[in-house]
Amino acid sequence: MLLKNNGSLPLYEQVKKYLEQKIVSREWEQGYKIPTEKELSELFQVSTITIKRAVLDLVDSGHLYRKSGKGTFVNYQEKTDLSKFVSIQNKFDEGKKYPHKIIGFNKIKPDSEVRENLKLAASDKVYHISRLKLENGIPSIIEDSFIPVNFAPNLTQEDIENELLYNIFLKKYGLPLDKAKVFISTKAADRDESSLLNIPIGCPLLVLDRCTTLKEERVVEYSRCMSVFKNAEYFLEINL
């Protein structure tokens, strides 16, 4: 199999794209042992150095992993539902417990970023709720929520320990939520985030910022969710 040697794309990148396509298309499934560097070198008629660079790039990106003395294998790509970050309700799991740890519950004067997202005046106060969500007892998501005090007077820590925010807004305060706008980005974990999630400092995090509004476009909640950015296939199911 001859590669294009016209300088438009480095040879190792062409090899990498070929291998990546095999993985993404599921032609090579989880645990599949890919051909050796020598076999790939013969297939593409390039040096083993070129092959090694392409393979190492895919190892670094999480598409492949190596076993000493055994070879290189296709890594498992977990499917992650983004709705667990985006939604503050879950109609299918009503009544179930949502394991989490309360890190903080305070009434504060918000900084300029929070104030801007919630469209507040400088004198307005908010509840700052910090939670660490758990999956099978393992820390998985850091969530910081900010709620204007005037929307939820007398909100207590006990409220949020025993109930979903969606239900609190609807049942306790008569505020039917209308929609949410979500912004997705990434960042490197700082010292506090690495400690909470038990990950190295600098580990990539998936960040979702959400603004939840009422029908009249008033912003009732601003939150930021952070989780470890994995080699995964992310999806979002939307009710139309």
pLDDT tens-digit map of 55-69: 998 888 778 889 888
CA atoms within a 13 Å half-sphere pointing along the CA-CB vector of 95: 1
Would you state the structure tokens that stand for residue 89, as one six-digit string?
A: 């309700």
Q: State the span(s) of the chain assigned CATH 3.40.1410.10.
A: 79-235
pLDDT above 80 (res 20): yes
Considering the domain 11-76 in this protein, what is its CATH number? 1.10.10.10
Of 143, 221, 209, 127, nearest to 177 by C-alpha is 221
Q: Output the pLDDT for position 207.
A: 94
Residues 19, 149: Cα–Cα separation, whole Å = 53
Q: State the span(s) of the chain assigned CATH 1.10.10.10.
A: 11-76
pLDDT range class, residue 91, cuts 50, 70, 90:
very low
Q: What is the mean pLDDT of the chain?
A: 85
| For range 28-37, the mean pLDDT | 91
Of 57, 228, 239, 49, nearest to 135 by C-alpha is 228
Please state whether the predicted TM-score (pTM) of the whole model is above 0.75.
Answer: no
Of 30, 77, 37, nearest to 53 by C-alpha is 37
| For range 25-31, the mean pLDDT | 84
CA atoms within a 13 Å half-sphere pointing along the CA-CB vector of 207: 13
Higher pLDDT, 229 or 121: 121
Residues 137, 115: Cα–Cα separation, whole Å = 34
Q: Which CATH number fits domain 79-235: 3.40.1410.10, 3.30.43.10, 3.40.50.2300, 3.10.20.740?
A: 3.40.1410.10
Give the lowest-confidence range in 57-61, 96-100, 194-198. 96-100
Strand partners, 72: 66
| For range 49-59, the mean pLDDT | 92
Higher pLDDT, 98 or 199: 199
Residues 196, 128: Cα–Cα separation, whole Å = 17
pLDDT above 70 (res 6): no
| For range 134-158, the mean pLDDT | 90
